[in-house]
Chains A and B, each alone.
Chain A
Amino acid sequence: MSIFWVSLLITSALVFIIRFAGYLVPEKYLTNPTALRINTLIPIALLSALVAVQSFTDKASIIIDQRMAGLGVAVIALLLKAPFPVVVISAAATSAAIFHLG
Chain B
Amino acid sequence: MNRATATQSLSVSLTVGAYGLAFGAASVAAGFSVLQSCLISLLTFSGASQFALVGVIGAGGSVVSAVTTASLLGIRNMLYGLRLAPVIKAKGVKKILAAQVTIDESTGVALSQERLGQREMRQGFWLTGVGVYLFWNLFTLVGALSAQAMGNPAAWGLDAAVPAAFLGLLWPRMQNNRDRALAVCAALLALLLTPYVAAGVPIISTAVLAVLFGLRGRR
Task: Determine chain A's interface SS by DSSP, over half rule.
Answer: helix
Q: Is B46 an interface residue (CB 8 A)?
A: yes
With the chains together, A61 CA to B195 CA distance in Å?
6
Q: In angstroms, how far is the closest chain B Cβ from the Cβ of A73?
A: 8
| Count of chain A residues with a beta carbon within 8 Å of a chain B beta carbon | 73
Name the distance in Å between B215's Cβ and chain A's nearest Cβ. 6
In the assembled complex, the CB of B18 is this many whole angstroms from the nearest CB of chain A, namely: 5
A19 touches B155 (CB 8 A): no
Q: Find the residue from A4, A36, A37, A39 having the highest chain B CB count within 10 A.
A: A4
Is A21 an interface position by the 8 A CB rule? yes
Q: Does B183 lie at the interface of the complex (its beta carbon under 8 Å from any beta carbon of A)? A: yes
Q: Contact check, B173 vs A91: say whether CB atoms are below 8 A apart.
A: no
Hey, what's the 0/1 contact readout for A49-75 against B, CB within 8 Å counting as 1?
A: 111111111011110001101110011
Number of A-B contacts (CB under 8 A): 310
Surface stretch bound by A, among B2-10, B31-39, B115-123, B130-138:
B31-39
CB contacts (< 8 Å) of A46 on chain B: these are 48, 52, 69, 72-73, 186, 203-204, 206-207, 210
Interface size on B, residues (CB 8 A): 101
Q: How far is the CB of B114 from chain A (nearest CB, A)?
A: 16
Closest chain B CB from A39 CB (angstroms): 6
User: By the criterion CB–CB under 8 Å, are B79 and A57 in contact?
Assistant: no
**A11→B55 contact, CB < 8 A:** no
Of the candidates B51, B74, B174, the one whose C-beta lies within 8 Å of that of A44 is B174
Chain B positions within 8 Å of A, measured between CB atoms, are: 15, 18-19, 22, 31-33, 36, 39-40, 43-46, 48-49, 51-53, 55-60, 63, 66-67, 69-86, 88, 90, 95-96, 98-100, 102, 154-171, 173-174, 179, 182-191, 194-195, 199, 202-204, 206-207, 209-211, 213-215, 217-218
